[in-house]
Amino acid sequence: MKKILLIEDRPGRQAQFFNNDEITYLNSLNYLNMPSEDKCREWLNVLNSKEQNGFNTYNLVIVHKSSLKPIGLSNLRELCKKNQIDLILFSGGLSQVLYQTMEFKSLSINSSNLYTDRLKEFLENYSNGLIVSLLELVYGDQWKLEVLLRYRQLKTRYDAEPNNEVKFELEDQISTLGQTIKDEIKNIDNSIDKIFISI
């Protein structure tokens, strides 16, 4: 069973999205460590002081991005890269979903994308090794369709873009998305049609 650490330094935010029974349920999961506010501060202090104690026992770390200092965020990314720990960063200030798989799997999302009805199912599936992509937290079963459509949109924009600087930026985004759907992009229109037919 895979282990998950969820560091939320603002428990009031959870209460905005989940009722007491739902929070109690999350706290009861044996594969999920969701420390209290004081314990969260201890975990954050470890990261922000460039220590790495205790994190390598987890397969997935979910943390409030704004609670980390730049050195803490850098330390966490280094730790995830070194130990191949999956990472989900959430914050109310994030306006888009960012996903990368180059050095380790990482997802950055808005808090409202974390605290949804999908969270419980995602955590259970992750702990049982049934998650293919961290994007399943945001898009559910249709995560691949979202990535394919976004990839096709970026590729179309890239092909029509006359400005080389903009093309360079688009290349990076296309490359990052392409890692997630390597086989499907060979015949992207067919891959998208297959998903639409199955819905």
Query: Is 174 within 8 Å of 150 (Cβ atoms)?
Result: no
Radius of gyration of the chain from its Cα atoms, rounded to whole angstroms:
18
Exposed (0-12), middle (13-18) or buried (19+): which is 64, by Cβ within 10 Å?
Answer: buried
Amino acid making up residue 164: N
Identify the pLDDT of residue 144: 84
| pTM assigned to the model | 0.82
Amino acid making up residue 183: D
User: Which regions in the chain score pLDDT beneath 50?
Assistant: none
Query: Is 8 within 8 Å of 40 (Cβ atoms)?
Result: yes
Identify the pLDDT of residue 5: 96
CA dihedral 87, 90, 95, 99 (to 10 degrees): 10
Identify the pLDDT of residue 179: 77
Tokens of 2: 């895979």
Tokens of 109: 């999302």
Amino acid making up residue 16: Q
Query: Is 34 within 8 Å of 10 (Cβ atoms)?
Result: no
C-alpha to C-alpha distance for 72 and 51, rounded to whole angstroms: 9
Residue 29: Cβ within 10 Å count: 15
Identify the pLDDT of residue 59: 97
List of E strands, the chain:
4-7, 32-33, 60-64, 86-91, 98-100, 106-110
- Report how far apart, in Å, the C-alpha atoms of 110 and of each of 91, 92, 138, 182 are: 5, 5, 10, 26
Tokens of 19: 């009722």
- Report how far apart, in Å, the C-alpha atoms of 43 and of each of 64, 83, 192 are: 12, 17, 42
Tokens of 32: 């999920």
